[in-house]
Chains A and B, each alone.
Chain A
């Protein structure tokens, strides 16, 4: 068995697992807020190409995670089959993304 994904439910009691998820989410939100993603003007500036921080951060996170996941799998540390991949609903996903993007821009006025 590979080391990762860690079987958290075997290490902690049932509710300890949720504490781990809570801490991860809190840290994630904290870092994003420190980077200025809570500021709607910064988010709207992305659309007008004035400040490309959102693109850089999001895509930077994507490629860092991708490279680390596949490197860990190639080294035998991680079992990629056990990683949750959101099932793809293609056209609803595209429409949803467009709606969310429009909302971001409207919110940035």
Chain B
């Protein structure tokens, strides 16, 4: 009988919710914090949070036993004895976690560097500007371009819709990148390839799928798509990973080379982008 009323109640509740949700949908979507975990909230390493939560929970269990003795008239000496051993084991593992810590980005890279460095060396993840342009115009792929140069170069010229992310800020956006749908392709770009390769290594070590590098960087993009006024400003003596072209004003993405016409040039390239199967669930739980 309990179960019948429970089920009827669930359906009634869903009905009520469905009829009224459009009225409070602003509240429903408010205070979004993304993938937010306690170590982020308190700014302490994970091991300390684990130890703190374990100690808090054991304290609450002890308190619960006292409450049961007072209100529920339960005799605590009848509870199984192994609970002390289990509590001790949990605290011991938590202390071990504080000491050992969680893997850092360098350690994660070290464990996968064998196969991933080979991808870099065989140039399987550096994509031609023509392929990037086709991806931008591909309706079935969501492209996210991460421009890891410094702000001055970004303001002088960047591809339309490229996001500016200095490398030291990459850590903050990794959890947002994991929420992107399975058909997202990430492309890192810098002036040549040096900074973009560092960013690629960082993202791949954090298990972000489908990361690629723009081959030759922005210099190559401008050489491919820039008009003659722009390409004749080439300064071939610029250093490694420096912008080789001279701009008299910082147009950013308003420069015509930032959104080239896909039909106007017929480029030959080897397509390299292959979407990975998503390893992890992209939704789940009760929400």
* A45:B72 contact, CB within 8 angstroms: yes
A13 contacts the other chain (CB 8 A): no
In whole angstroms, how far apart are the Cα atoms of A56 and B285 in the complex? Answer: 21
* B53:A49 contact, CB within 8 angstroms: no
* B111:A7 contact, CB within 8 angstroms: no
Could you tell me which residues of chain B, from 106 to 124, have a CB within 8 Å of some CB in chain A?
111-112
* B207:A81 contact, CB within 8 angstroms: yes
Which residue of chain B is the closest to A106 with respect to CB atoms? B9
When distances are taken between beta carbons in the complex, the residues of chain A under 8 Å from B282 are 84
In whole angstroms, how far apart are the Cα atoms of A55 and B60 in the complex? Answer: 9
When distances are taken between beta carbons in the complex, the residues of chain B under 8 Å from A2 are 111
Which residue of chain B is the closest to A87 with respect to CB atoms? B34
Contact flags (1/0) for B263-287 with A, using CB distance below 8 Å? 0000000000000010111111111
When distances are taken between beta carbons in the complex, the residues of chain A under 8 Å from B284 are 84, 86
B103 contacts the other chain (CB 8 A): yes
A9 contacts the other chain (CB 8 A): yes
When distances are taken between beta carbons in the complex, the residues of chain A under 8 Å from B72 are 45, 49-52
When distances are taken between beta carbons in the complex, the residues of chain A under 8 Å from B50 are 66-67, 70
A66, A79, A91: the one within 8 Å of B27 (CB): A91
B54 contacts the other chain (CB 8 A): yes
A101 contacts the other chain (CB 8 A): no
Instruction: Quote the shortest CB–CB distance from A74 to chain B (angstroms).
Output: 5
CB-CB under 8 A for A56 and B61, given A91-B31, A92-B27? yes
B44 contacts the other chain (CB 8 A): no
Could you tell me which residues of chain A, from 1 to 38, have a CB within 8 Å of some CB in chain B?
1-2, 5, 7, 9-10, 38
Could you tell me which residues of chain B, from 15 to 31, have a CB within 8 Å of some CB in chain A?
27-31
* B103:A67 contact, CB within 8 angstroms: no
* B100:A82 contact, CB within 8 angstroms: no
In whole angstroms, how far apart are the Cα atoms of A87 and B280 in the complex? Answer: 15
When distances are taken between beta carbons in the complex, the residues of chain A under 8 Å from B102 are 70, 73-74, 80
* B279:A89 contact, CB within 8 angstroms: no
Q: Which of B35, B112, B179 has the most CB of A within 10 A?
A: B35
A60, A62, A71, A81: the one within 8 Å of B97 (CB): A71
CB-CB under 8 A for A76 and B111, given A52-B64, A87-B34, A90-B33? yes
In whole angstroms, how far apart are the Cα atoms of A45 and B74 in the complex? Answer: 13
In whole angstroms, how far apart are the Cα atoms of A49 and B285 in the complex? Answer: 29
Instruction: Quote the shortest CB–CB distance from B200 to chain A (angstroms).
Output: 16
A85 contacts the other chain (CB 8 A): yes
When distances are taken between beta carbons in the complex, the residues of chain A under 8 Å from B286 are 86
Which residue of chain B is the closest to A81 with respect to CB atoms? B207
CB-CB under 8 A for A73 and B90, given A9-B277, A45-B72? no
CB-CB under 8 A for A74 and B68, given A40-B2, A67-B97, A90-B31? no
15 example contacts (A-B, Cβ-Cβ < 8 A) are as follows A9-B277, A59-B57, A67-B50, A70-B50, A71-B96, A73-B103, A74-B102, A84-B282, A86-B285, A87-B32, A87-B33, A87-B35, A88-B35, A103-B9, A107-B9
B interface with A by C-beta (< 8 Å): 2-3, 6, 9, 27-37, 46-47, 50, 53-54, 57, 60-61, 64-65, 67-68, 70-72, 74, 90, 93-94, 96-97, 100-103, 111-112, 174, 178-179, 206-208, 277, 279-287
- A1-B112, A49-B68 are known; give 19 further A-B pairs, CB within 8 A: A38-B2, A45-B72, A50-B71, A51-B72, A52-B65, A52-B72, A55-B64, A56-B61, A62-B53, A62-B57, A63-B90, A67-B50, A81-B174, A82-B280, A84-B282, A84-B283, A88-B35, A92-B27, A103-B9
